[in-house]
């Protein structure tokens, strides 16, 4: 069953935008409407950080989230309920943005009923090299005006 | 009342812990199922466990199976809180003995509402 | 940008006339935020411009009214009405009517309320033949009720997991209500300001979290219309913040564990 996941209907539902909106509205913003599709040219991320989680099953599915460091810190503070401007430790950062990737990836997995386990999140200053993978969707979103990229990959 | 929050993500533990503390629980934490079993030994008065599914060492499903084998833990309410949203997984967890199941992402009131009908809210704190 | 008083008045009057929902001065922000998405999809430059085009085009009136309804709801909302249904209302109706139950879920929003009623029946009275008429003013919430599809966030809200797996099936991003529950519920568009819907007389009417939007005279009239389709011995359930006290003394409030039931007083016949 895994080898023949039919992605077309799943992708038609705009899953990355939808899941991100649900996640941000419930756990980060505590109100809806602050995540939208990015309008205009794809921006360059400022001091970028990439965070990814895989579903390791027969097929390897990866969700990669890209943000500027500052945006990631803002996400971390919001998730943890810390006041604006509180310094964010690396540990909290990895844990918080990692959890965002984890929830997005877990929700994608549920959409395709893909049996397999989620891996521990990885954070790095560069996007993972994925020459041999297929990019199924690469969404650029705007959260309170800051760019966040969310990509879904199928790895060999 | 004492609650045990079992999740490998510290951030998640803090988020869930804050929700529970707000409604009057005393919260202890564990990073995986194995550690959680140890905590239960130390705190036999735990009434509620909030359990993630995917964790290293011992996952949440295995933890539920393990606690359900122990008659002394019969009165503990087990609530899964996980990104695993497939119907099959929900059915499996309930069949193994979970009482409730929350799919991430969630809001605080989803958890509080479920605690309410599970009879775990102290009327005074949460009037 | 703040809404011109004249534009606000126009919207408030339209909404009051069509739905009886009261939008008092001070609710400008609500009008703006609810109409902004409509304005955007209509290509208007702002809400003010959108309202200008609404004034000139009656076919846009329905969607404006719908946008200003509050559709907030959840499964087994407040719990106790569903306990009362199970412990008091249904057993009571069964002694009078045998194996049949007629329910009106008025202002049902997206269907969580009528389906919660259907689940109560399916779980505790599987032999009972229940027909639930579920009505609302808003077509968009009715469409969701008819489709019987709810997002993960929606099923998280108040639906016990054992009932979720029993009565729903996951289909991609949504959970879909079972055929068994669906066969009990009929969704129909209905405005509470109009004559009551067909399908009565009803053994119980759920009229929850909608009277709060109306003025006293409208509350009384709506309740009187409800009474006209109540079966002898039938009950009305209101929302947690609602009551007939100070509205109309033809109603008797009967306290039950955790809340109250309402029925017409004896001797005050319709
Ligand atoms: C807050 S919801 C209540 C839903 C459900 N009864 C509950 O308690 O969860 C209120 C509903 O009343 C509907 N409504 C408002 N005015 C109405 C009217 N005049 N006639 C019929 N329905 C109306 C709205 O469309 C909305 O779905």
The tens digit of pLDDT for each residue in C112-158 reads 999 999 999 999 999 999 999 999 999 999 999 999 999 998 999 99
Q: Which of C30, C62, C63, C69 to mutate to test the pocket of ligand 1 (most atoms within 8 A of CB)?
A: C69
Collapse the DSSP code of C144 into the 3-class scheme (helix H, G, I; strand E, B; otherwise coil) and give the result.
Answer: helix
Q: For residue C270, is it within any domain?
A: no
Please report the pLDDT score of residue A4 as a whole number: 65
Answer yes or no: do C248 and C119 share one domain.
yes
Q: For residue C246, is it within any domain?
A: yes
Answer yes or no: do C95 and C204 share one domain.
yes
Could B90 and C153 be called an inter-chain contact, meaning their C-beta atoms sit closer than 8 Å?
A: no
Could B84 and A102 be called an inter-chain contact, meaning their C-beta atoms sit closer than 8 Å?
A: no
State the distance from the centre of ligand 1 to the C-alpha of C69, rounded, in angstroms. Answer: 7
Answer yes or no: do C187 and C57 share one domain.
no
- The DSSP annotation for C179-248 comes to HHHHTTEEEEE--TTSSPPSS-SEEEEEE-SSGGGS-HHHHHHHHHHHHHTEEEEEEEEE-TT--STTT-
Please report the pLDDT score of residue A60 as a whole number: 86
What is the pTM for the complete model shown? 0.91
Write the CATH number for C248: 3.40.50.150
Q: For residue C156, is it within any domain?
A: yes
Give the residue on A whose Cα is nearest the Cα of B15: A80
Domain ranges of chain A: 8-155
> Which residues between 43 and 72 in chain A have a beta carbon less than 8 angstroms from any beta carbon of chain B?
none
Q: For residue C158, is it within any domain?
A: yes
Could A79 and B11 be called an inter-chain contact, meaning their C-beta atoms sit closer than 8 Å?
A: yes
Ligand 1 proximal residues by C-beta, below 6 Å: C 19-21, 69-73, 77, 107-109, 113, 136-138, 141, 191-193, 208-210, 239
Q: How far is residue C107 from each of residues B4, B94, C114, C137, measured CA to CA in Å?
A: 41, 34, 10, 7
**DSSP 8-class letter at A127:** P
Chain B hits for A106, CB-CB cut-off 8 Å, are: 54, 82-85, 104
Answer yes or no: do C85 and C54 share one domain.
no
- Tell me what percent of the residues of chain C surpass a pLDDT of 70: 98
B125, pLDDT greater than 70: no
Q: Which of B90, B106, B109 sits opposite C161 (nearest CB)?
A: B90
B94, pLDDT greater than 70: yes
> Does residue A142 sit at the C interface (CB-CB below 8 Å)?
no
Answer yes or no: do C245 and C145 share one domain.
yes
CATH architecture of A8-155: 3-Layer(aba) Sandwich (3.40)
Could A13 and C172 be called an inter-chain contact, meaning their C-beta atoms sit closer than 8 Å?
A: yes
Q: Alpha-carbon distance C110 to C119, whole Å?
A: 16
Answer yes or no: do C101 and C197 share one domain.
yes
In the numeric block, the tokens 């329905």 are attached to: C62
Answer yes or no: do C158 and C196 share one domain.
yes
Domains of chain B: 2-125 (3.40.50.2300)
Q: For residue C73, is it within any domain?
A: no
Q: For residue C92, is it within any domain?
A: yes
Chain A hits for B83, CB-CB cut-off 8 Å, are: 102-103, 105-107, 109-110, 118
Low-confidence ranges of chain C (pLDDT < 70): 1, 267-270
Write the CATH number for C43: 1.10.155
Task: Spell out which chain B residues touch chain C, with contact meaning CB-CB distance below 8 angstroms.
Answer: 85-87, 90-91, 94, 98-103, 105-107, 109-110, 113-114, 116-117
- The runs of H, that is alpha helices, within chain A are 7-12, 15-23, 69-80, 90-111
Answer yes or no: do C181 and C205 share one domain.
yes
* Number of CB atoms found within 10 A of residue C140's CB: 14
Low-confidence ranges of chain A (pLDDT < 70): 1-4, 113-114
Please report the pLDDT score of residue C267 as a whole number: 60
Answer yes or no: do C59 and C129 share one domain.
no
Please report the pLDDT score of residue B124 as a whole number: 47
Answer yes or no: do C167 and C217 share one domain.
yes
Q: For residue C72, is it within any domain?
A: no
What is the average pLDDT value for chain B, to the nearest integer?
Answer: 93
**Is the interface score ipTM higher than 0.95?**
no
Q: For residue C205, is it within any domain?
A: yes
Long-range contacts of C26-29 (CB under 8 A, 24+ apart): C28/C2, C28/C3
Q: Please state the rounded mean pLDDT for residues B31-60.
A: 95
Q: Which of B86, B103, B113 sits opposite C158 (nearest CB)?
A: B113
B103, pLDDT greater than 70: yes
- Contact in structure between B19 and B112 (CB atoms under 8 Å): yes
Answer yes or no: do C31 and C152 share one domain.
no
Q: Is the peptide bond before B105 cis (omega within 30 degrees of 0)?
A: yes
Please report the pLDDT score of residue A32 as a whole number: 87
Domain residues for the domain of C23 are: 5-67
- Contact in structure between C148 and C176 (CB atoms under 8 Å): yes
Q: Alpha-carbon distance C102 to B3, whole Å?
A: 43
> Does residue A43 sit at the C interface (CB-CB below 8 Å)?
no
**Residues 6 or more apart in contact with residue C156 via CB below 8 angstroms:** B102, B103, B106, B107, B110
Model confidence at B123, pLDDT cuts 50, 70, 90, reads low
Q: Alpha-carbon distance C76 to A22, whole Å?
A: 22
Chains that touch A (3 or more CB pairs under 8 A): B, C
Q: Which of C137, C185, C191, C259 to mutate to test the pocket of ligand 1 (most atoms within 8 A of CB)?
A: C137
- Contact in structure between A133 and A49 (CB atoms under 8 Å): no
> Does residue C165 sit at the B interface (CB-CB below 8 Å)?
yes
Into how many domains does chain C fold? 2
Q: Please state the rounded mean pLDDT for residues B114-118.
A: 91
Chain B hits for C79, CB-CB cut-off 8 Å, are: 116-117
Answer yes or no: do C236 and C149 share one domain.
yes
Please report the pLDDT score of residue A120 as a whole number: 84
Residues B56-71: tens digit of each pLDDT: 899 999 999 999 999 9
Q: Alpha-carbon distance A149 to A77, whole Å?
A: 19
């Amino acid at each position: 069953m895994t080898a023949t996941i039919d992605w077309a209907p799943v992708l038609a539902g705009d899953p990355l935008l939808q899941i991100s909106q649900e996640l941000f509205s419930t756990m980060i913003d505590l109100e809806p409407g602050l995540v939208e599709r990015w309008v205009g040219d794809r921006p360059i991320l400022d001091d970028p950080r990439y965070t990814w989680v895989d579903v390791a099953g027969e097929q390897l599915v990866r969700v990669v989230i890209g943000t500027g460091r500052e945006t990631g810190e803002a996400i971390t503070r919001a998730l943890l309920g810390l006041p604006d401007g509180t310094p964010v430790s690396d540990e909290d950062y990895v844990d918080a943005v990692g959890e965002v990737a984890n929830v997005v990836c877990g929700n994608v997995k549920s959409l395709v009923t893909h049996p397999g386990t989620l891996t521990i999140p990885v954070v790095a200053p560069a996007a993972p090299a994925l020459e041999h993978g297929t990019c199924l969707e690469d969404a650029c979103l705007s959260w309170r005006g800051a760019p966040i990229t969310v990509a879904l990959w199928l790895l060999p | 009342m004492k609650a045990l929050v079992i999740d490998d993500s510290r951030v998640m533990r803090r988020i869930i812990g804050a929700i529970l503390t707000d409604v009057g629980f005393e919260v202890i934490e564990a990073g995986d199922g194995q550690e959680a079993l140890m905590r239960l030994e130390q705190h036999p008065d735990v009434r509620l466990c909030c359990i993630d599914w995917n964790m290293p060492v011992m996952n949440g499903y295995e933890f539920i199976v393990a606690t359900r084998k122990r008659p002394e833990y019969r009165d503990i309410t087990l609530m899964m809180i996980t990104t695993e949203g497939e119907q099959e997984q929900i059915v499996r967890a309930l069949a193994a003995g979970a009482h409730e199941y929350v799919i991430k992402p969630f809001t605080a009131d989803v958890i509080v509402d479920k605690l309410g009908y599970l009879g775990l809210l102290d009327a005074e704190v949460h009037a | 940008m703040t809404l011109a008083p004249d534009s606000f008045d126009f919207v408030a009057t339209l909404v009051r006339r069509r739905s009886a929902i009261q939008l008092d001065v001070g609710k400008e922000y609500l009008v703006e935020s609810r109409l902004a998405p409509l304005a955007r999809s209509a290509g208007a430059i702002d809400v003010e411009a959108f309202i200008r085009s609404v004034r000139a085009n009656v076919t846009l009136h329905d969607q404006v009214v719908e946008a200003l309804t509050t559709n907030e709801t959840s499964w087994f909302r407040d719990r106790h009405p569903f306990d009362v249904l199970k412990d008091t209302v249904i057993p009571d109706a069964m002694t009078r009517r045998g194996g049949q139950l007629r329910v009106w879920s008025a202002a049902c929003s997206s269907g969580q309320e009528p389906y919660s009623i259907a689940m109560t029946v399916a779980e505790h009275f599987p032999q009972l033949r229940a027909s639930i008429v579920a009505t609302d003013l808003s077509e968009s919430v009715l469409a969701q009720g008819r489709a019987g599809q709810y997002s993960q966030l929606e099923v998280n809200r108040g639906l016990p997991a054992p009932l979720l797996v029993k009565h729903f099936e996951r289909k991609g991003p949504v959970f879909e209500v079972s055929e068994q529950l669906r066969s009990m519920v009929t969704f129909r568009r209905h405005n509470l300001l109009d004559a009551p819907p067909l399908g009565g007389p009803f053994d119980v009417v759920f009229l929850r979290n909608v009277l709060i939007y109306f003025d006293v005279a409208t509350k009384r009239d709506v309740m009187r219309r409800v009474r006209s389709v109540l079966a002898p011995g039938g009950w009305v359930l209101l929302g947690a913040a609602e009551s007939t006290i100070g509205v109309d003394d033809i109603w008797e409030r009967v306290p039950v564990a955790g809340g109250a039931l309402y029925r017409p007083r004896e001797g005050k016949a319709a």
